[in-house]
Amino acid sequence: MARRRQLYEGKAKILFEGPEPGTLVQYFKDDATAGNGAKHGIITGKGVLNNRISEYIMLRLQEIGIPTHFIRRINMREQLIREVEIIPLEIVIRNIAAGSIAKRLGIPEGTRLPRSIVEYYYKNDALGDPMVAEEHITAFGWANPHDLDDMVAMSLRVNDFLMGLFAGVGISLVDFKLEFGRLWEGEEMRIILADEISPDNCRLWDSKTNEKLDKDRFRRDMGQVEEAYQEVARRLGILPEAGNGDLKGSETMQ
Ligand SMILES: Nc1ncnc2c1ncn2[C@@H]1O[C@H](COP(=O)(O)OP(=O)(O)O)[C@@H](O)[C@H]1O
Ligand SMILES: [Mg+2]
């Protein structure tokens, strides 16, 4: 295949020019970062797993009518996506206290929240992705109130659906982060779900044992990171029950 032009290299993925205008190729790396890049490591096989997990979740979401950037998976590490103008916000939905909300508000990790809580962060690495309020978002024009309502409504639907999906395979959806982008179709603009949904940006705990099956294993040096991502994929039915130990050697496989 002809070498594609690289447009952007991020912390976990690389974006290449797609085969047609308005498309991109999203390449999933094994790189992992935490604490806004303070910590860097490689989780062998992560890119392959996140490509598959994100594909699976985006397809399930499309089935319930959530518009997403996902078009199709190309190979083990790449997927074809629709190019959007990313809205510089991270929308976080929380069901159970963990991470920054536990720390900032002194809520013991694992406490079920009285209801799902939506938080906004300004997507800006140089500033460390600071938390912002609706006021900042609309005043600085990152999104207008209508677009923000749209994103929140979609995020809550994604939450309801994914809570059920994961509960069905014995996993609690503790929290997750979404990114959205603007898709222009002539004069019309639609906001669609972009980026990825994977154990890199979801907290997933085993429902029975509360064992962590997500990137917190890397952030907190708990080990068995790849195994945790594999377990999520296996429970979603993406990986076979056994004999998946050759993932690393099969990069060119479809
Ligand atoms: N459909 C899309 N069109 C354009 N940009 C996208 C799309 N989906 C995701 N992105 C952007 O591509 C980048 C993905 O790479 P990643 O490694 O996650 O980068 P970062 O380090 O900026 O988070 C992110 O900046 C994300 O906002
Ligand atoms: Mg990212």
What digits encode the pLDDT tens for the residues 172-181? 999 999 999 9
**Dist. CA 12 → ligand 2 center (Å):** 6
**Residue ID of nearest Cα to ligand 1 atom 11:** 195
- Write out pLDDT tens, residues 39-58: 999 999 999 999 999 999 99
**Residue ID of nearest Cα to ligand 1 atom 25:** 10
Q: How far is CA 6 from the centre of its chain?
A: 21
**What is the rounded CA–CA span in Å between residue 122 and residue 115?**
23
Ligand 1 contact, 32 CB (< 6 A): no
Q: How far is CA 185 from the centre of its chain?
A: 25
**Dist. CA 210 → ligand 1 center (Å):** 30
Buried b (16+ CB within 10 A) or exposed e, 131-170: ebeeeebeeeebbeeebbeebeebbeebbebbbebbeeee
Give yes or no for residue 252 having a pLDDT over 50. Answer: no
Q: Which residue has the tokens 């195994």?
A: 227
- Give the pLDDT band of residue 251 (cuts 50, 70, 90): very low
Give yes or no for residue 254 having a pLDDT over 70. Answer: no
Q: Mind listing the domains of the chain with CATH numbers?
A: 6-84+224-249 (3.30.200.20), 85-206 (3.30.470.20)
- Write out pLDDT tens, residues 54-102: 999 999 999 999 999 999 999 999 999 999 999 999 999 999 999 999 9
Give yes or no for residue 253 having a pLDDT over 80. Answer: no
Give yes or no for residue 160 having a pLDDT over 80. Answer: yes
**Residue 251: CB atoms within 10 Å:** 11
Give yes or no for residue 206 having a pLDDT over 60. Answer: yes
**Dist. CA 221 → ligand 2 center (Å):** 20
Ligand 1 contact, 10 CB (< 6 A): yes
Ligand 1 contact, 84 CB (< 6 A): yes
Give yes or no for residue 184 having a pLDDT over 90. Answer: yes
Closest CA to 37 of 106, 129, 119: 129
> What per-residue confidence (pLDDT) applies to 155?
99
- Give the pLDDT band of residue 120 (cuts 50, 70, 90): very high
Least confident of 70-79, 162-171, 233-242: 233-242
Ligand 1 contact, 212 CB (< 6 A): no
